[in-house]
Structure 1
Amino acid sequence: MPSIPRYETLKLSQPKPHVTLVELNRPTKLNAMNLQLFDELKTCFEQLNIEKECRVIVLTGSGRAFSTGIDIEYLSAAAAESIEIDDIARKALHVRSMIERTQECLRAVDKCEKPVIAAIHGYCIGAGVDLSACCDIRYSARDTIFSIKEVDIGLAADIGTLQILPKLITDHSLFHELVFTSRTFDTNEAQQIGLISHVFDTREALLDAAISLANVIAHKSPIAVQGSKINLNYARDHTVDDNFTFVRTWNSAMLLSEDIVKGLMATSVSKEKSKL
């Protein structure tokens, strides 16, 4: 990218052309999420969404963890702020607004039109699982400990886990157990429910694999890749008939792309070479 933005709670780099590595950067807090981190995630992913030099994003955590969830200090401060409001209806509206702000920050990851690959290691707890749910592809290091922690603190998860994952996971019985008990689980169970697709022995191998995959995707037509993500997310949230209508309209314009001609020509040349 021409100039890589700097943030207080995120660290950005470009390990490969057109690939942006975004690291949650509160390692001394095990990347627990405070208000600043939430806000910077939104700003960062909205900016990457329109950054032409960025085609694929790898999201990970610096230090020993992907994320241990919402920072307790931030949660306590938010609770104290709401206590100051006397009227119960106004208090409810205040809390609702706070939840909506947090949801919008993580939804910026889900709504980003560039593919987002989560590289998860160490701990992925509470809001860390919410954040991973907003990513398109999830890889993990073998030693990662997961927990859908919200029930343990008297909450229903409200920023991704219960809203997105039920449409993606493969073992609903086990998923419900993990939600209701808040118990920790390992990569075996994470794979069983379909939360992660590949497991790697070390964080280094995990990052190498995630960046390598991002590099492969970055060399594909960005028109085709972004269009595929937009249609996948639309399909997740709509009926089959709606999906066919949407893709008809979408491809009525996208089929005019020069990338299709180039792709067909490249495929034709490849087939001719294979005959030699």
Structure 2
Amino acid sequence: MLEDEKLVSLSVEVRGHVAEVTLLGPGKGNAMGPDFWRELPLVFGALDADPQVRAVVLTGSGKHFSYGLDLPAMMPSWAELLGDGALAEPRTRFLDDLRRLQQAVTSVAACRKPVIAAVSGWCIGGGVDVVAAADIRVASEDAKFSVREVKVAIVADLGSLQRLAGIIGEGHLRELAFTGKDVDARRAERIGLVNDVYPDQEATLRAARELAAEIAANPPLVVQGAKDVLDAVRGPQVAAGLRYVGAWNAAFLPSKDLGEAVQAFVERRPPEFQGR
């Protein structure tokens, strides 16, 4: 399947008809750097094409699912855009790069095999984008979720704003997107972000594996057909929303507030936003 690819940020293990994909980092808290964005579509494209695989479990190594985007690793490629007076060329390169990241997340949603995300610990920013692209989410008691982008002066642009409305509803999504607040596992269950909550990481992963095996025991083409039908309306809406937010961020992302967010992150202090 992936014999010719040496994976750095992900591991893949197939048992019977269930594949298990684990985030490995290498950034702290499985932060999502360049290797992750390169490998994610390769892995899910291969799983989609593998007739042996009928369901996928997606989880994180260590205590946390993911801290989200690895800002120190990703920011150098966007540095020119953040300067004063960025013109069309750096904005176009940023848009191309952003679309590549969007397509990486979409590879999870586009996989014809149902994907079950098993979440423990923190699931922040890009982590929420990825689990929103999964079909089903389960979590451990210690799980916490945050659509954190607003805290760093960015409009979330990798799929959370497009996919979560159909999962948790507009009101809950707007609250999370406007505040950037943390949501614990029990509230995540109440609003429908996760299906079930389990006592710890081991129990959560076991439940995800059991659910994947239950799905894999059904006729595979019928399961894939059900997923295709369910995505028939939402898929085009998500794609349109991703195109729109990509254009919006290419136009409006550079700001004094974003520079302040980056500087505050480096200096480990609260940012002071001025709407500039």
TM-score range (shorter-chain normalised) is 0.7 to 0.9
The equivalences for 1:5-24 within 5 A come to 6-14=6-14, 16-24=15-23
The question of whether the paired residues in 2 share the 8 Å contact of 1:57 and 1:117 is answered with yes
Could you tell me how far apart the structure 2 residues matched to 1:2 and 1:145 are?
32
TM-score, structure 1 as length reference: 0.80
- Name the SS of the counterpart of 2:171 in structure 1: helix
Give the drift of 1:28. Answer: 5.6
Deviations 1:75-125 (A, max 9, x none): 321222545897611121111111101000110001010000000011000
**Matched-pair identity in %:** 37
1:38 Cα deviation from its structure 2 partner: 1.0
Q: Secondary structure at the match of 1:30?
A: helix
Secondary structure at 1:68 match in 2: coil
Secondary structure of 2:183's match? coil
Secondary structure in 2 aligned to 1:130?
helix
Alignment of 1:207 with 2:209, yes or no, is no
Quick one: which of 234, 252, 261 aligns to 1:236?
234
Distance 2:141 2:5 in 1: 32
For the residue of structure 2 that corresponds to 1:53, the secondary structure is coil
**Which runs of no fewer than 5 residues in structure 1 stay unpaired?**
240-276
Q: 1:221 aligns with which of 194, 219, 228?
A: 219
Which structure 2 residue ranges, 5 or more long, are not aligned? 238-276
How far has the Cα of 1:237 moved from its partner? Answer: 4.1
Residue equivalent to 2:264: none
Distance 1:83 1:236 in 2: 33
Residue 188 of structure 1 and its aligned partner are, at CA, apart by 2.0
Q: Whole-Å Cα distance in 2 between the matches of residues 2 and 132 of structure 1?
A: 22
Residue type matched to 2:12 in 1? L
Aligned residues: 237
> Greater CA radius of gyration, 1 or 2?
1
**Displacement, 1:173?**
2.3
- Contact kept in structure 1, 2:27 and 2:33, CA below 8 Å: no
Rounded to whole Å, the distance in 1 between the matches of 2:224 and 2:122 is: 30
Distance of 1:238 and 1:93 partners within structure 2: 23
Post-superposition Cα deviations, 1:115-155, rounded to whole Å, max 9, x if no partner, equal 00000011000010000000000000111111110001111
Say what the alpha-carbon RMSD is for the aligned residues.
Answer: 2.1
- Deviation larger for 230-239 or 125-134: 230-239
C-alpha distance in 2 between matches for 1:10 and 1:189: 29
Q: CA deviation at 1:238?
A: 6.5
Distance verdict in 2 for CA 1:4–1:18, change over 3 Å: farther
Q: Contact 2:69–2:125 (CA<8 Å) still a contact in 1?
A: yes
CA contact (8 A) 1:6 1:12 kept: no
Partner of 1:188: 186
Runs of 4 or more above 3 Å deviation = 1-6, 81-87
